[in-house]
Amino acid sequence: MALEASDRNTDTAPPAEGVRLPNGMTKLPNGIILDKDGKPCRACNTKSAFSAFAAQATHKQSKTTAATTAAATQGATAATSTKPAVECPPDVAQLGRSSWTLLHSIAAQYPETPSSAQQSDLASFVRLFSRLYPCWVCADDFQAYVARDTPRVASRDDFGQWLCRAHNDVNVKLGKPVFDCARWEERWRTGPPDGSCD
């Protein structure tokens, strides 16, 4: 499972089977992950990887050069700094953080003793989430994870622990610290016992 693209987004990542490359390109620079229509996938790459791709594959290089020249001109820097911030489509990292926040919060609010209907709802939600997740390589990984470790939905703690393990699976792939799943509820539901989140 990888709600953030992990080891696929490397210099050596091959194009996924069936993916068309953009016109005139025979390989993916910096391992950029493409949408299934052959265009670079914002939701599958970090912002920096996407920008590097754009600089190579489009006119970005010349725009950057022009901007650098302009910045050397008196007044240009001030004009640039007052430009309002543009809200951009999320990259793979922002999408991952957002999605983990939602999923762990769903676990936190899930009943301790859910009804059969609630268990069915949550199992279906996780399955549909794995199909609809906007980063398609991450979705593939998540579907594979779900296939080898069926989501536990019998209780709040069952699901919270399952989700924590799934998140840690991604943490390992990304070289991030593993979270102590004994503390999942403290992190996502109650806050620490010292009240520092109250």
List interacting residues with a second copy (CB under 8 A). 35, 42-43, 50-51, 54-55, 58, 60, 63, 86-90, 94-95, 97-99, 101-102, 105-106, 108-110, 121-122, 124-125, 128-129, 131-134, 136, 187-192, 195-198
* Comparison of 12 and 78: residue with beta carbon closer to a second copy: 78
DSSP state of 190: I
Neighbours of 194 (CB within 10 A): 7
Are 145 and 169 within 8 A, CB to CB?
yes
* Comparison of 6 and 159: residue with beta carbon closer to a second copy: 159
* Comparison of 74 and 103: residue with beta carbon closer to a second copy: 103
* Comparison of 14 and 191: residue with beta carbon closer to a second copy: 191
DSSP letters, 123-189, are HHHHHHHHHH-SSHHHHHHHHHHHHHSPPP-SSHHHHHHHHHHHHHHHHHHHTPPPP-GGGHHIIII
Question: In the bound complex, what is the minimum distance in angstroms from residue 158's beta carbon to a second copy?
Answer: 15
Question: In the bound complex, what is the minimum distance in angstroms from residue 75's beta carbon to a second copy?
Answer: 20
* Comparison of 31 and 188: residue with beta carbon closer to a second copy: 188
Of 29, 60, 33, nearest in space to 46 by CA: 33
Question: In the bound complex, what is the minimum distance in angstroms from residue 130's beta carbon to a second copy?
Answer: 10
Question: In the bound complex, what is the minimum distance in angstroms from residue 73's beta carbon to a second copy?
Answer: 20
Question: In the bound complex, what is the minimum distance in angstroms from residue 123's beta carbon to a second copy?
Answer: 10
Torsion of CA 142, 146, 148, 153, to 10 degrees: 150
Contacts of 63 (CB under 8 A, 6+ apart): none
Question: In the bound complex, what is the minimum distance in angstroms from residue 144's beta carbon to a second copy?
Answer: 18
Are 93 and 100 within 8 A, CB to CB?
no
* Comparison of 72 and 117: residue with beta carbon closer to a second copy: 117
Would you call 3 exposed, middle or buried from its count of C-beta atoms within 10 A (0-12, 13-18, 19+)?
A: buried
